A and B are shown apart, each in its own frame.
Chain A
């Protein structure tokens, strides 16, 4: 029973922080700003980011650093929640550390493969370096994928790296590596959920299924519309998790063309904000996923569900701010920027 009460406390805490997130009006004001410095200044005046940006000079800060600081703030919020409840070392609760680790590993593989490790070092966030057990800076010194694989011996990634595919011409297959790394992340997460949570596991798995569905649908649409991939090839490029079901996804992959695919998406559970005339499928899908996450956060009493949904909403907020900053930087019409935000 006490466990239940403490879960209620963290859920309430998450909801109170959720209440301080940027509103649609804040974003509306932000898109009307004339420069990145003005946006930084506005963010500094919000309750949510004022503490994080207190020492920042809005006039001199680089926009990439600003974006990095905002993302770091979200990560710190997540760490604060875990620490508050003593969840730091419990399985599943390190999901954001692992997710970031996975994203950086994909980035590192790409950088090593292209010989651009220096740019990898520049862009890897400091909070990932300090929270991960993997020494990314040491790995960035590797000159090839084989060297990287050897350096990862003894870590959980070694097995995945060993299974990376190489083409007949000996060239490294990067898309395959990306899928394998992502699959490993979601596999690990699902295993932890099944092992650790009883009744909450189905809702958590549903949220993860929704997240992967959105990734899969966006990727499959791109492969179908822009690269003319065959259904079988699309299927192999997808993550193996789904909430809408493999059969429905299979039907999507087998659609006759992008228009047909769009029609099918429109009819699916994710089709609420998608219509056949849309220029891209991404915004509508992300909007729907965000809505589901918000709904889940509003109705749940389970700490892991609330935390997972909240972090998804946080990531979306950062994506929105980044879009605003980019739009303002390149002098895009405020109405156009606002229309591109997922809210």
Chain B
């Protein structure tokens, strides 16, 4: 249960073999490519350069995708082994061939669609002139009268009364801001009246020549024209469909191959080139070493060099979590927070254990746990493997703790005879009879988990050589002593009546650690660099500033110790809340008739399982992320993403 070992691989080959090498890298499914870094030293041929060639597959990719759309073909990944096309030019030629065969049908369809859209636009304009009973052509052919159709802002309509010129405006329809209509004026005053209307923001609408008759007639005629043209579109589309039926297989194969070729070519941007040699670098999991080597065994054109993961300082090794069957589903939570560094600590086992136990404690019910276990199996198979896995483990834990509480689908006394039979008198542990014990145990669990988190932080700190983190920080040895001794002192005094908070104890385990936390930066600097330094970031930190800053930090640490510990009270709280909710279900059952009891039992249990189950799951994630992870874990690792030439229809 750690982090998968990685190897750094450098592949050198001649430039002609580049596509084949990249292809093999994709095929291996275990190689993560790292971008090459161009060197600034050396000039011209002596410097490592990046390949920035234009992708020749881009144009045919867009072309083929648009042809497929036009033909109504849904592109799906297809076996393309029989496709003979290779270069960008081949694919372009293939596209051109298809386009020329489609040209006539497409042209007809496009032209007809244009006519339809023109007619539809005209219909919208005429809609605003509803009520006009005069023939359009008669209006526009007046000899002495000038006419304009359009829309006038409503506020301008009122202003028309101000003008004394000879014109009149006929409104037809209003929308929120405009009044649609037409104005008439003598042809001699056309310029003046047009100016007036322009100044009032009148927007002229051109009625197309094909609009004849009055509004109603025009509607009818244009409607009929649209119907006629739609038949032509249908005809053109049927031609395209039969073309698609004939060529679909060929197009699917070509597109799948094109996708692959394009994606492989895209990887060239990460390749370094020096004269006629190309250099590819990346990581593979160490266990895949032989498998990867085998891919290139029959290909002498490429030279593989395997090195330790830290061989190239410009590349950060990726992280792959190595987990057992029990902990594997919980990796989902760790990934959600962020992966650990390659050299860091994999907390999945810790999360798996604490999550499962806390879920069982908070949601303990033998019957409901069993249902969650079954659901987990189903979800794991059909929907989401990790989520299902988590559910099965939590379900088992819930069953175990349900047995301890003696709870089966909310029946708290069903297991009493069993315990009596085998002679265990301290079980079952009925939550409502042991409230204080449950709450104190919850706090105890919290203290234990916080202390474990601190110990993990100390180990990680020493491993990283970070004295400040391991020894002097609030989660280091000083913090461990400070928090542990206060928690231990309080527990001993209040629960066991043992007075250990003596003067020397307070001085040794509380005061000195507190001073260490307060002065963690100067103390760590003194140990590490043998010099006095008040801040790691600010060079000119004054003593006053240092005291004020650290006073508030110290205050925050103490507050966080208290609040984080109290936060674990929710573990006990949910034990009581679960029992309480099931009590409500059983009360409701008592209130209804005998026939309705099973329905209440099923609905009540389902409701509690869904609602409380979800809340408990979320609350534990919260505890894991905030109270535990924040003490020792920083998820700044890099995920392992093996290179692949995937199928995609998206055009960037």
Across chains A and B, the number of contacting residue pairs, with CB separation under 8 Å, is 44
CA separation between A136 and B176, bound complex, in Å?
23
Write out the residue numbers on chain A whose beta carbons fall within 8 Å of the beta carbon of B201.
Answer: 61-62, 64-65
| Complex contact A129–B199 (CB within 8 A) | no
Write out the residue numbers on chain A whose beta carbons fall within 8 Å of the beta carbon of B199.
Answer: 122
- B80 interface residue per 8 A CB criterion: no
CA separation between A141 and B164, bound complex, in Å?
11
| Complex contact B155–A129 (CB within 8 A) | yes
| Complex contact A141–B155 (CB within 8 A) | no
- B156 interface residue per 8 A CB criterion: yes
| Complex contact B176–A54 (CB within 8 A) | yes
**Which of B156, B162, B176 has the most chain A CB atoms inside 10 A of its CB?**
B162
CB-contact partner of B203 in A60, A129, A137, under 8 A = A60
| Complex contact A69–B177 (CB within 8 A) | yes
CB-contact partner of A126 in B156, B161, B176, B203, under 8 A = B156
Given contacts A60-B203, A65-B201, A122-B200, are A137 and B176 in contact (CB under 8 A)?
A: no
Tell me how far the C-beta of A133 lies from the nearest C-beta in chain B, rounded to whole angstroms.
15
CB-contact partner of A55 in B158, B159, B162, B175, under 8 A = B175
CA separation between A298 and B156, bound complex, in Å?
38
Contact with B along A114-148 (1 / 0, CB 8 A): 00000001101111011000000100110000000
**Which of B153, B154, B155, B178 has the most chain A CB atoms inside 10 A of its CB?**
B155
Contact with A along B140-172 (1 / 0, CB 8 A): 000000000000011110110110000000000
- A56 interface residue per 8 A CB criterion: yes
Given contacts A55-B177, A57-B203, A60-B203, are A68 and B155 in contact (CB under 8 A)?
A: yes
CA separation between A54 and B158, bound complex, in Å?
22
Chain A: CB-nearest residue to B201: A65
CA separation between A60 and B198, bound complex, in Å?
12
A42-75 contacts to B, CB under 8 A, are 52, 54-57, 60-62, 64-65, 68-69, 72
| Complex contact A127–B155 (CB within 8 A) | yes
Given contacts A55-B176, A56-B177, A64-B201, are A140 and B158 in contact (CB under 8 A)?
A: no
**Which of B156, B158, B177, B199 has the most chain A CB atoms inside 10 A of its CB?**
B177
Q: Count how many chain B residues have C-beta atoms less than 8 Å from C-beta atoms of the other chain.
A: 16
Tell me how far the C-beta of A158 lies from the nearest C-beta in chain B, rounded to whole angstroms.
22
| Complex contact A137–B155 (CB within 8 A) | no
Chain A: CB-nearest residue to B205: A60
Write out the residue numbers on chain A whose beta carbons fall within 8 Å of the beta carbon of B153.
Answer: 65, 68, 126
CA separation between A130 and B158, bound complex, in Å?
10
B306-324 contacts to A, CB under 8 A, are none
| Complex contact A137–B177 (CB within 8 A) | no
Tell me how far the C-beta of A66 lies from the nearest C-beta in chain B, rounded to whole angstroms.
9
Write out the residue numbers on chain A whose beta carbons fall within 8 Å of the beta carbon of B176.
Answer: 52, 54-55
CA separation between A56 and B161, bound complex, in Å?
25
CA separation between A215 and B445, bound complex, in Å?
68
CA separation between A61 and B159, bound complex, in Å?
19
Contact with A along B175-188 (1 / 0, CB 8 A): 11110000000000
Tell me how far the C-beta of A217 lies from the nearest C-beta in chain B, rounded to whole angstroms.
34
| Complex contact A126–B155 (CB within 8 A) | yes
CA separation between A141 and B161, bound complex, in Å?
11
Chain B: CB-nearest residue to A122: B199
Tell me how far the C-beta of A49 lies from the nearest C-beta in chain B, rounded to whole angstroms.
12
Tell me how far the C-beta of A216 lies from the nearest C-beta in chain B, rounded to whole angstroms.
33
Tell me how far the C-beta of A333 lies from the nearest C-beta in chain B, rounded to whole angstroms.
29
Write out the residue numbers on chain B whose beta carbons fall within 8 Å of the beta carbon of A137.
Answer: 158-159, 161-162
Write out the residue numbers on chain B whose beta carbons fall within 8 Å of the beta carbon of A121.
Answer: 159, 162
Write out the residue numbers on chain B whose beta carbons fall within 8 Å of the beta carbon of A62.
Answer: 201
| Complex contact B162–A126 (CB within 8 A) | no
CA separation between A93 and B155, bound complex, in Å?
24
Write out the residue numbers on chain B whose beta carbons fall within 8 Å of the beta carbon of A60.
Answer: 203
Tell me how far the C-beta of B339 lies from the nearest C-beta in chain A, rounded to whole angstroms.
33
Chain A: CB-nearest residue to B175: A55
Chain A: CB-nearest residue to B153: A65
| Complex contact B155–A125 (CB within 8 A) | yes
Chain B: CB-nearest residue to A119: B199
Given contacts A55-B177, A56-B177, are A122 and B159 in contact (CB under 8 A)?
A: yes
CA separation between A126 and B156, bound complex, in Å?
7
CA separation between A52 and B177, bound complex, in Å?
8
CA separation between A61 and B153, bound complex, in Å?
10
CA separation between A127 and B178, bound complex, in Å?
14
| Complex contact B203–A140 (CB within 8 A) | no
| Complex contact A55–B178 (CB within 8 A) | yes
CA separation between A55 and B174, bound complex, in Å?
11
CA separation between A321 and B495, bound complex, in Å?
70
Write out the residue numbers on chain B whose beta carbons fall within 8 Å of the beta carbon of A126.
Answer: 153-156, 158-159
CA separation between A62 and B199, bound complex, in Å?
10
| Complex contact B175–A141 (CB within 8 A) | no
CA separation between A137 and B161, bound complex, in Å?
8
Tell me how far the C-beta of A41 lies from the nearest C-beta in chain B, rounded to whole angstroms.
16
Write out the residue numbers on chain A whose beta carbons fall within 8 Å of the beta carbon of B156.
Answer: 126
Write out the residue numbers on chain B whose beta carbons fall within 8 Å of the beta carbon of A127.
Answer: 155
CA separation between A140 and B159, bound complex, in Å?
11
CA separation between A126 and B161, bound complex, in Å?
13
Tell me how far the C-beta of B9 lies from the nearest C-beta in chain A, rounded to whole angstroms.
44
A132-178 contacts to B, CB under 8 A, are 137, 140-141
Write out the residue numbers on chain B whose beta carbons fall within 8 Å of the beta carbon of A54.
Answer: 176
CA separation between A72 and B153, bound complex, in Å?
12
Sample of 16 A–B contacts (CB below 8 Å): A55-B177, A61-B201, A62-B201, A64-B201, A65-B201, A68-B153, A126-B153, A126-B158, A129-B158, A130-B158, A137-B158, A137-B159, A137-B161, A137-B162, A140-B162, A141-B162
Q: A126-B159, A130-B158 are in contact. List 4 more A-B contacts (CB 8 A).
A: A64-B201, A126-B154, A137-B158, A141-B162
Closest 8 CB pairs of A and B: A126-B155, A65-B201, A55-B175, A122-B199, A62-B201, A121-B162, A137-B162, A55-B176
> A residues bordering B, Cβ < 8 Å?
52, 54-57, 60-62, 64-65, 68-69, 72, 121-122, 124-127, 129-130, 137, 140-141
